[in-house]
Structure 1
């Protein structure tokens, strides 16, 4: 494959980030810059503007799921979506996107069903008072795992786009 084809695939591929409370924005920028891929941060507000032309910020209305809906409406097969939101992960996996949680956990067609079921079970336990619903804190090893996994998924997506 020649350089022109590789650059065309990179320009089509994008990373979409559910940016509200996302702890790995800097890591996404770092990996995307290394590979020359556009990043779009989608949020209800509060995003710091970037001078980098490869970084886009999209601010959506404050409505429930507005950021999720924007991401679903704009994600294409083989794009990469970064989110901790399980329902959004399920919707974008169904579109053929590569989906990664901020702890480095990939969501795939094989794993998303269990993730949705566990989310629903935990929600039920919280609603019935059986569980306090505390989430584990974000640890340095989560950041490291995320960086490695994002790089791996991005390389796979670029290779898939170049072959397709």
Structure 2
């Protein structure tokens, strides 16, 4: 298993959680972004800087992810593509995207895009807080614990 992080949109608050978990469980964690991200020296943590451009990080992750890898992203189309390749997907707020819920998430995303393009103010997502950070840490621990038990 590798952990792929869509680092362009990853909240800074979960980066230390990912780094500690990666080192503790000896799982490679790759932060993918179109800018260099400061990371500690670790044999388990690395960065991949992709060219600037729309969805370049997403494209790299999608092409690189393998069955049973874990992808950290809140990008629903990327999540769907990774699930199709057999990967596990977790949002930065600790919500798993699965074969069972991804079609509904895609449908809602498309509906909200239509609403926004029609001029409706749909608001935005709630700010990332301590509860989200804890939910992410707990969900990540559960996934990594299952990996160790397998």
1:14 correspondence with 2:15: no
* CA shift for structure 1 position 150: 0.8
Structure 2 residue aligned with 1:125: 115
Q: Which has the larger radius of gyration?
A: 1
- Relative to the length of structure 2, the TM-score reads 0.93
**Partner secondary structure for residue 71 of structure 2:** strand
Matched, 1:60 2:84: no
Matches within 5 A, 1:94-105: 94-105=84-95
RMSD: 1.3
TM-score where L is the length of structure 1: 0.85
Q: Distance in 2 between matches of 1:63 and 1:158?
A: 37
Runs of 5+ consecutive residues of structure 1 not aligned to the other structure? 1-12
- Residue equivalent to 2:67: 77
Q: Which runs of 4+ in 1 moved over 4 A?
A: none
| Structure 1 counterpart of 2:24 | 34
* Structure 1 residue 158, shift from structure 2 partner: 4.2
Query: 1:98-147: CA deviations, max 9, x gaps?
Result: 10000000000001111111111111111111224322111110000000
Count of aligned pairs between the two proteins: 148
Aligned-partner Cα distance in 2 for 1:143–1:49: 19
